[in-house]
Amino acid sequence: MNPWILLTISICLEIVATNLLKVSDGFTKLAPTLGALAFYGCSFYFVSIIFRTLSVGLVYAIWSGVGIVLTAIVAHFAFGQKIDTAGLIGMGLIICGVLVINLFSQTSH
């Protein structure tokens, strides 16, 4: 399968897992805890497959950077968590960094 599609799926799984972690209330609720562990496990499995064709630096930069930004956005809508100006600037810089690595770095491919 296309590694970019797998990376997209992996990022989505990680976002779901992280938000289930919030719902698990510190691992005190069984269903969201098990869901978080399962989604993290699937996400890491896909990342391990992606590493066969794409570099660790590229994959991890995109996976973590996009994951951070999208998790914050989901948490804003799902849990009412505030994103202030500094947060927006930081997320913008993360996305810029991911774009620079993806578009211009020759060592990451």
Predicted local confidence at residue 109, as pLDDT? 55
Quote the mean pLDDT of the chain.
Answer: 94
Predicted local confidence at residue 81, as pLDDT? 96
Residue 37 forms part of a structural domain: yes
Structural domain that includes position 67:
3-104
Predicted local confidence at residue 67, as pLDDT? 96
Range in 36-50, 69-83, 95-109 the model is least confident about: 95-109
Q: In angstroms, rounded to a whole number, what is the distance separating the alpha carbons of residues 98 and 63?
A: 9
Task: Count how many domains the chain has.
Answer: 1
Q: Which two tokens stand for residue 68?
A: 């951070």
Residue 78 pLDDT more than 80? yes
Q: In angstroms, rounded to a whole number, what is the distance separating the alpha carbons of residues 19 and 73?
A: 11
Residue 109 forms part of a structural domain: no
Q: Which two tokens stand for residue 64?
A: 């973590």
Is the whole model's pTM more than 0.85, yes or no?
yes
Residues 6+ apart with CB under 8 A from 10: 42, 43, 44, 46, 47, 50, 63
